[in-house]
C-alpha cells in the first residue's frame, strides 16, 4: 500500500509528522510531496528536523504568490508529479486548510485518486477566509474524512456529508502530548527569554483578515501595548511585511523571528496567556492549561471557549486588554481521545 501525503505549510508539517510515523509503524510506504508553500528555514526546515519528518521525496518548489498564482502553479506541478507516480498511490492524504490542501484536493480528484482529509469538518462559517473556502472544497471532494471533534462531524452532517466521516481525534493534540515535556528539556525557557515563568504574554498574528487590514493590525498592536507584561511575538513573515512604519509597535512588544515547534511549546507552557489568531495555537494553549485570547471574531475550535479558557476579542484594543484581566473557570477543556492515538486510527482507516 502506498500513501501520498501533500504538505506545504508550517502546521501541516506537525500534523504530517504524527501520521507519517504511524504509517511507518504499520509498514505502509509514504511518498511525501512538499508544495514549497513555506520555504524559510524557520517555517519549514526546523519542523522537519525537530519532528524527524523524513525529507520530501518530491518538492514542487512553488513558493509565494497571489492565491491564483500559487494554487495555479501548484496544480500544474502536482498534477505532473501524481501522473508520473508509478504505481499510483492508493490514497492521497491532505491536511488542514491551506492552499496546499486545496490543490491536493482538486488535483487528486481530477486524476480520480482516492482522497483523504486530516482535520476535516472544521468551519468558521466565514467565507471571506481563504481557509474556509479551502476546507469546504477539500471536505466535499474527500472519500475519507478524519474529523478531530464531534463538532466537526456535525458540521459535515449539516452539509450532507456523512459517508466516510470518522471521528479520529486531533493529531495536533497527539503532537502536544508527545512533545510538550521534551520541549521544556531540549529548549528550556532560559534559552529563549530572560522573563520568568508567568511574567510574559505570548502572541502570534498571521491571518489575512488581520494582516491585510491596517485598522485591525493597528488595533491588535494597541491592545498588546495595553497589557501589563512584556509580549513575546514571533512574527510570521506575512505580518512583518506589513510593518512599514505606519503601524506603531508598543515598547512592551518584543518582535522575534518565527520559532520552531519545541521553542513554541516551551513559550506557551510558561506564558501568562496566549494571544493569537492561529488555529493550532488556540488549541495548544488550552490543552496546556494556558488561557487563550483569540484575535478573531470567530473560531473553528468552539470547544476551547468552554469556561472562558479561550476568549474571542477580535482586533479591538479595549477587548484585548479586558480579556487579559479575566480568569477562566473550571478545568481546561481537552479532547477525550480513545485508547488509540488519532494518527493510528487514521492509518487503520486508510488500510480499509
Ligand atoms: C498559510 C495558510 C494559512 C496558515 C498559514 C500557516 C493559505 C491561504 N494560508 O498562510 O491558512 O494558517 O499558512 O502558517 O494557505 N512568506 C515568506 N516565507 C515563507 C512563506 C511565506 O516570507 O517561507 C511570506 C511571503 O511574503 C508570502 C506570505 O508570507 O507572500 C504569505 O505566505 P502564504 O503561504 O501565502 O500564506 P500564509 O500567510 O503563510
Ligand atoms: N508555531 C511555531 N512557531 C511559531 C508560530 C507557530 O512552531 O513561531 C506552531 C504552533 O505552535 C502551532 C502551529 O505552528 O503548532 C500553528 O501554525 P500557524 O499558526 O502558522 O497556522 P494555523 O494553525 O493558524 O493554520
- Which letter does DSSP use for residue 26 in this model? T
Nearest to 350 by CA among 67, 115, 153: 115
Distance between CA atoms of 238 and 217, rounded to whole angstroms?
12
Q: What share of the chain is helix, strand, coil (3-state, %, to 5)?
A: 45, 15, 40
Q: What is the mean pLDDT of the chain?
A: 97
Question: What is the distance of C-alpha 9 from the center of its chain?
Answer: 8
- pLDDT score for 337: 65
72 pocket-lining for ligand 1 (C-beta < 6 Å): no
283 pocket-lining for ligand 2 (C-beta < 6 Å): no
173: helix, strand or coil = helix
**How far is the centre of ligand 2, averaged over its atoms, from the C-alpha of 205 (Å)?**
10
- pLDDT score for 244: 82
Top mutation candidate among 270, 280, 294, 295 for ligand 2, by most atoms within 8 Å of CB = 280
- pLDDT score for 122: 98
11 pocket-lining for ligand 2 (C-beta < 6 Å): yes
- pLDDT score for 245: 85
Q: Name the CA dihedral angle for 112, 117, 120, 124, rounded to a multiple of 10 degrees.
A: -80
- pLDDT score for 248: 95
pLDDT per residue of the chain (352 residues) written in tens, 0 to 9: 999 999 999 999 999 999 999 999 999 999 999 999 999 999 999 999 999 999 999 999 999 999 999 999 999 999 999 999 999 999 999 999 999 999 999 999 999 999 999 999 999 999 999 999 999 999 999 999 999 999 999 999 999 999 999 999 999 999 999 999 999 999 999 999 999 999 999 999 999 999 999 999 999 999 999 999 999 999 999 999 999 888 999 999 999 999 999 999 999 999 999 999 999 999 999 999 999 999 999 999 999 999 999 999 999 999 999 999 999 999 999 866 678 999 999 999 999 9
Name all domains of the chain by residue range, CATH numbers in brackets: 2-170+338-351 (3.40.50.2000), 190-323 (3.40.50.2000)
Relative to the CA of 277, which ligand 2 atom is closest?
Answer: 24
Q: Whose CA is nearest to atom 34 of ligand 1?
A: 37
Nearest to 120 by CA among 68, 157, 89, 173: 157
Top mutation candidate among 62, 234, 237, 281 for ligand 1, by most atoms within 8 Å of CB = 237
46 pocket-lining for ligand 2 (C-beta < 6 Å): no
- The answer to whether 138 touches 116, Cβ cutoff 8 Å, is no
Q: Whose CA is nearest to atom 15 of ligand 1?
A: 98
212 pocket-lining for ligand 1 (C-beta < 6 Å): no
- pLDDT score for 172: 97
Q: Is there a catalytic annotation at residue 38?
A: no
Q: What is the per-residue pLDDT across 278-316, written as a single tens digit (0 to 9) for each?
A: 999 999 999 999 999 999 999 999 999 999 999 999 999
Name the catalytic one among 117, 206, 236, 270: 206
- The answer to whether 107 touches 115, Cβ cutoff 8 Å, is no
> Percent of the chain beyond pLDDT 70?
99
Which numbered ligand comes closest to the C-alpha of 40?
Answer: 1
34 pocket-lining for ligand 1 (C-beta < 6 Å): no
- pLDDT score for 28: 98
130 pocket-lining for ligand 1 (C-beta < 6 Å): yes
State the CB neighbour count (10 A cutoff) for residue 331. Answer: 10
Distance between CA atoms of 135 and 139, rounded to whole angstroms?
6
Amino acid at each position: 500500500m502506498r500513501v501520498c501525503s501533500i504538505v506545504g505549510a508550517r502546521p501541516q508539517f506537525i500534523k504530517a509528522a504524527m501520521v507519517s510515523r504511524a504509517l511507518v509503524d504499520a509498514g505502509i510506504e509514504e511518498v511525501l510531496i512538499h508544495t514549497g508553500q513555506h520555504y524559510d528555514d524557520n517555517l519549514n526546515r526546523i519542523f522537519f528536523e525537530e519532528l524527524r519528518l523524513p525529507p520530501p521525496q518530491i518538492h514542487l518548489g512553488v513558493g509565494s504568490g497571489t492565491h491564483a498564482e500559487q494554487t495555479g502553479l501548484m496544480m500544474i506541478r502536482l498534477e505532473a508529479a501524481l501522473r508520473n507516480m508509478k504505481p499510483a498511490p492508493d490514497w492521497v492524504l491532505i491536511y488542514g486548510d491551506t492552499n496546499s490542501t486545496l490543490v491536493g484536493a482538486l488535483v487528486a480528484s481530477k486524476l480520480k485518486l482516492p482522497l483523504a482529509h486530516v482535520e476535516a469538518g472544521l468551519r468558521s462559517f466565514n467565507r471571506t477566509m481563504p481557509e474556509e473556502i479551502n476546507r469546504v472544497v477539500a471536505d466535499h471532494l474527500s472519500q475519507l474524512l478524519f474529523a478531530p471533534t464531534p463538532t466537526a462531524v456535525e458540521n459535515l452532517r449539516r452539509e450532507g456529508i456523512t459517508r466516510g466521516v470518522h471521528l479520529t481525534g486531533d493529531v495536533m493534540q497527539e503532537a502536544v502530548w508527545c512533545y510538550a515535556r521534551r520541549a521544556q528539556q531540549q529548549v528550556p525557557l532560559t534559552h529563549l527569554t530572560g522573563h520568568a515563568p508567568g511574567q510574559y504574554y505570548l502572541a502570534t498574528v498571521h491571518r489575512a483578515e488581520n494582516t491585510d487590514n491596517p485598522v485591525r493590525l493597528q488595533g491588535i498592536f494597541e491592545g498588546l501595548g495595553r497589557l501589563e507584561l512584556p509580549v513575546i511575538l514571533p512574527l510570521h513573515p506575512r505580518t512583518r511585511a506589513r510593518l512599514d512604519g505606519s503601524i506603531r509597535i508598543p515598547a512592551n512588544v518584543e518582535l522575534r523571528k518565527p520559532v520552531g515547534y519545541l521553542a513554541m511549546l516551551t513559550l506557551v507552557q510558561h506564558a501568562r496567556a496566549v494571544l493569537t489568531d492561529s488555529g493550532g495555537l488556540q488549541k495548544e494553549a488550552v490543552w496546556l492549561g494556558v488561557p487563550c485570547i483569540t484575535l478573531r471574531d470567530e473560531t473553528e475550535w468552539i470547544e476551547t471557549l468552554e469556561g472562558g479558557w479561550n476568549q474571542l476579542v477580535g482586533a479591538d484594543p479595549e477587548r484585548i486588554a479586558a480579556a487579559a484581566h479575566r480568569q477562566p473557570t473550571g478545568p481546561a477543556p481537552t479532547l477525550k481521545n480513545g485508547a488509540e492515538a488519532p494518527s493510528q486510527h487514521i492509518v487503520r482507516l486508510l488500510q480499509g
